[in-house]
Structures are given as C-alpha cells and as structure tokens.
Structure 1
Amino acid sequence: MDLRNVVHDDNDLDEINLIIYGIPRRIYERTEYFHSFDNLTFYQRFRITKATALVMLDITEAQIEHPYDLNHSVAPINQLSIFLRFCATGTHLSCIGDFGGVHFSTVSRIIVRVGRVLATLYNRYIKMPRTQDEINNNHFAFYEKARFPRVIGSIDCTHIKIQSPGGEDAEIFRNRKGYFSINVQAVGNTSLKLMNVVARWPGSTHDATIFNNSRVKQEFENNNFPNSLLLGDSGYFQRPYILTPLLNPTTRAQQLYNESHIRTRNTIERLFGVWKRRFRCWPTAVVYNICNETNEGEPPDPEDMERFLNALQDNEVPHVPHNPPRNNQGAALGNQMRMNLIENYFGNLE
C-alpha cells in the first residue's frame, strides 16, 4: 500500500516522510491570529474585519471542525484564517503554510474543505429577487440611480486570470487580451450584491454565449421576473428583457436613454471593482456576499488606505473565439422594446 495515500494531517505526513525518505519530523508553531492581531493588523492580513470573520466561522464551523483532536488537528478558526489568507493574497501555498503553521499540503486540503462548505451556501447568499416585493424594491433602487424604469439588475462579464490548463483544449481559455482566464458572468444590484454568478466558461467565450446558456436567461424567458429588465453592454444582444446602449444616439430622447443606461448599469462595474480590490483570489462568490451583508463597506483605494486603516485602528468598523448565432426574432422584439421605451418614456423627460 502506498502510505502517501493515507495522509490526514501534518503528523501523518511527517511520519510517512520519515519512513520513506528518512526526513525528520518538523514541529510547526501555530498562532491563533484572531486573538493575537488587533483590528488593524487583522484587516491588513485578511482583508475583512473580525466581526465578519466571526460570521463566517459561525456558518462553517460545524462542517469544517474535525471530529477528533488527535495529531494536533487544525482548529476551525485556524482553518478559516488560512482560507482567508489565501483569498486575500493568492500566493503560494508554502507561504500560506508558513504563515499558518502547517504544511503546504495541509493548506491545500483546508482551502478545498472550507471553499467547498462555502460553495454549498450559494443559494442562501446569491439569489435573484423572487417575491413581487423584492422585485419592486429592485425597480425602485435602480430607478433612483438615474430614472431608468423597471430595472431588476445589471449584467456583465469579467475575466479571472488562470494558469494555462494545458492539454489539447488549453487555447480555448486564452481570451482576446492574450492571457488564460475564466469568463465569469454576474448580475448585481444597486447595493453591489451578487444576485447570480456563472463561472464555468473559458476565456475565449463570448459574453452573449454565456448568457444564452444560463439559467437566469431561462428564468426571464419563463417570465419569472414580470415587467423587469436587465441592463447590459454591447456584448449582449437586444431582448425584450435585456437592453443595451445605442451605438449612435441622435435625438435628445436617445441621448437621455444612453446617459441613464450607462449610469444605471455602472453598478456592475463598481461591483467587480470592489470584489477585485478585496480579494486577490476568487475561490467563491459567497465570501464576497457575506462581506456585503455584514456591511463591510468597499475596500479603500490605495490613496485612501491610510485613512481607512487609521479609522479601523480606532475600533471603527468601516462599512478559440466563438461568436454566438443571433436570434433575429428576439433581437427584433428587443429593439422594438428599446425604441418604445425611448419614444414613450425618455422622450417625455425634461
């Protein structure tokens, strides 16, 4: 039997290394950073506050805690710290292992374990509005941005850089900018909260292809969000439920439509900016939405970091390219919807 297949923790690994390779056991020193760090230092290392870390611990502890305390098993709070450190830095596992006082192989298992538990909470933390009251609240919140009616969410895609996966299909992950990526589609609201995420398409995939094969499109086709609209950029095709900006506005009404569209859809661009500033690595969107629900606030820009950290120190909690086929009938209905909105609504705005 290959002893390397029965590794459960660092002590098991050290014993096997001693038997197979004659490598002596290494004693790791672990620090419980939640209590040893003050608020400022904790935020600098993990990119979230202690209050949010406690919320995450509460919802994951039962699933990640080991059923026994043999061989100096890693406590849930330390597992969570290792996972958050990976999210915050995206650095090598050996560096995170040195930081957490565990072997890098243990870091790998912890990241998978904690990430998997958080991923199971997707439907709890990432969801589209369901009730009519929730839909109406979204309409009102978006209307307040720039007087664009009936908007339930803004949609866009962003590229998450990855290493080349290798193999015969590696090039389909190379995007138009020349690097390997996953093309991630997201729908967000005015609170910069994720309502839907699709993260399974290679970087060369067109944005419209991702939408056309997504569940959220089918929900709109089934009229699950009555009298509601998504706002997207020109990477999407016109539909009765998804509106894009005009390429060459000429009339005053068309200009008002474009201005309102851009200002309203800007929420998804801000959402991506906040997400990327908070974490260098994107293992799960659930972590981002937990931060949103606990009022973490937007991570500061580099020029505002000193003021932000000073406030935190004073114990303040700051808040192969593929072009999809066009559906001509759907595009025609979408164009008609857009022109009706421009003529009958934006044409009457002062």
Structure 2
Amino acid sequence: MAALHRRLRRNHRRRVGLPRPRVFRDRGNPLEMLEEDEIFQRYRFRPATIHFLVNGLHQELTTDTNRNKPISLLLQVLLFLRFVATGAHLRLVGDSLGISESSVCRSVKAVASAIVAVFARLYITFPVGEIATKVKEGFRRVASTSI
C-alpha cells in the first residue's frame, strides 16, 4: 500500500512539473568507523599515510564554496584509493561509501591529477648517469630472457 502511495505521489509530481526533492546523505568519516587493519585491506594504505595524502592535496582539491554539499577531501582521496586498490567499477566503489557513480568519476579524476601535480615533482625522479645505465641493462636482461 505504501509503495502505491509513493508511486501516485511521484506521478503527480511529474504531471505538475514539480522538481524531485534533493536528498543529502550524511557521509561520516570511514577512518573512524574501521580498524586499522580493515582500512589497510580496503585502501592499501595506513591511516597515517592517508592523512599525509589529504594534507598534501589540500591546496589542490579544496573548493571555493560549500554549495551543494561537496564531497569532503578525505572521502575523495578514499574513493581514489579504493578505485586504484581494487580496480572495481566506479559504481561499486561509490556504493561502498554511498556516493553516485558520476561523483566518484569526478573525484577519481581530480585526485589523480592533484597527485601528479603535487607529489610527482617531489617524489618521482628518473635515474641518471651510472644508475640509469644499470636500470637499462636490467630491462634489457629481462627482455632477452622473455623471448
């Protein structure tokens, strides 16, 4: 009976042209709800490392306004880590934290770009000189044994 009532109300809203009511979900902090081992299993990082990432990406990912209840920086980083750690479809990653597939897509793209912009120049270096020669020879050995 309740389902019929909801359907009638939805159909009335469509006929009259009323907008669908917006629902804002309460998104808590998953790091507070899980044990450290569970966090590592889900995101492949320890909580301290996740907080390091969040602090490092703060300038890149902070929005100017709080309009429309934006996804917090911590949740954006957790969505990205879950996506990269599991390789699951965006919808499944979003379902784990109660976020839509399109929002997960935007968050993953933004966090990936921010990580490249912030951490690539600090922590990623290419070998030069003698070390580069050793790395090249190692690759050459691997390539010759696989043929």
- Which category of TM-score, normalised to the shorter sequence, fits these structures? 0.7 to 0.9
Aligned to 1:98: 95
- Shift of the 24–93 alpha-carbon distance from structure 1 to 2, 3 Å rule, reads farther
Aligned to 2:120: 122
- Once residues 39 and 77 of structure 1 are traced to their aligned partners in structure 2, the CA distance between those partners, rounded to angstroms, is 16
Aligned to 2:138: 231
TM-score (norm 2): 0.72
- Shift of the 128–101 alpha-carbon distance from structure 1 to 2, 3 Å rule, reads same
**TM-align CA RMSD:** 2.9
- Once residues 21 and 108 of structure 1 are traced to their aligned partners in structure 2, the CA distance between those partners, rounded to angstroms, is 29
Name the SS for the 1:117 alignment partner: helix
Name the SS for the 1:154 alignment partner: helix
Aligned to 2:33: 36
- Once residues 75 and 56 of structure 1 are traced to their aligned partners in structure 2, the CA distance between those partners, rounded to angstroms, is 13
Asked if the contact 1:31/1:100 (under 8 Å) is kept, the reply is: no
| 2:44 counterpart of 1:47 | yes
- Shift of the 62–29 alpha-carbon distance from structure 1 to 2, 3 Å rule, reads same
Give 1:153 shift: 4.2
Write the letter of the residue equivalent to 1:86. F
- Once residues 153 and 23 of structure 1 are traced to their aligned partners in structure 2, the CA distance between those partners, rounded to angstroms, is 62
> Any gaps of 5 or more consecutive residues in structure 2?
1-13
Give 1:64 shift: 0.7
Q: 1:84 aligns with which of 77, 81, 84?
A: 81
- Shift of the 21–116 alpha-carbon distance from structure 1 to 2, 3 Å rule, reads farther
Q: 1:109 aligns with which of 102, 106, 111?
A: 106
Give 1:117 shift: 0.9
- Once residues 20 and 139 of structure 2 are traced to their aligned partners in structure 1, the CA distance between those partners, rounded to angstroms, is 57
Asked if the contact 1:39/1:50 (under 8 Å) is kept, the reply is: yes
> Residues 217-244 of structure 1: CA distance to partner in whole angstroms, max 9, x if unpaired?
xxxxxxxxxxxxx3224576xxxxxxx6
Asked if the contact 1:29/1:101 (under 8 Å) is kept, the reply is: no
> Residues 283-341 of structure 1: CA distance to partner in whole angstroms, max 9, x if unpaired?
xxxxxxxxxxxxxxxxxxxxxxxxxxxxxxxxxxxxxxxxxxxxxxxxxxxxxxxxxxx
- Once residues 127 and 140 of structure 2 are traced to their aligned partners in structure 1, the CA distance between those partners, rounded to angstroms, is 22
Asked if the contact 2:43/2:82 (under 8 Å) is kept, the reply is: yes
- Once residues 115 and 99 of structure 2 are traced to their aligned partners in structure 1, the CA distance between those partners, rounded to angstroms, is 22
- Once residues 53 and 133 of structure 2 are traced to their aligned partners in structure 1, the CA distance between those partners, rounded to angstroms, is 28
Asked if the contact 1:63/1:117 (under 8 Å) is kept, the reply is: yes
> Residues 12-66 of structure 1: CA distance to partner in whole angstroms, max 9, x if unpaired?
xxxxxx8x99655344331311222221111111011112112211211111111
> Residues 138-157 of structure 1: CA distance to partner in whole angstroms, max 9, x if unpaired?
5xxxxxxxxxxxx75435xx
- Shift of the 126–152 alpha-carbon distance from structure 1 to 2, 3 Å rule, reads farther
Name the one with the larger helix percent.
2
Asked if the contact 2:24/2:69 (under 8 Å) is kept, the reply is: no
- Once residues 153 and 30 of structure 1 are traced to their aligned partners in structure 2, the CA distance between those partners, rounded to angstroms, is 49
TM-score (norm 1): 0.33
Asked if the contact 1:46/1:81 (under 8 Å) is kept, the reply is: yes
Bigger radius of gyration among the two: 1
Name the SS for the 2:135 alignment partner: strand
Alignment map for 1:164-183 (pairs within 5 Å): none
Q: How many residues align?
A: 130
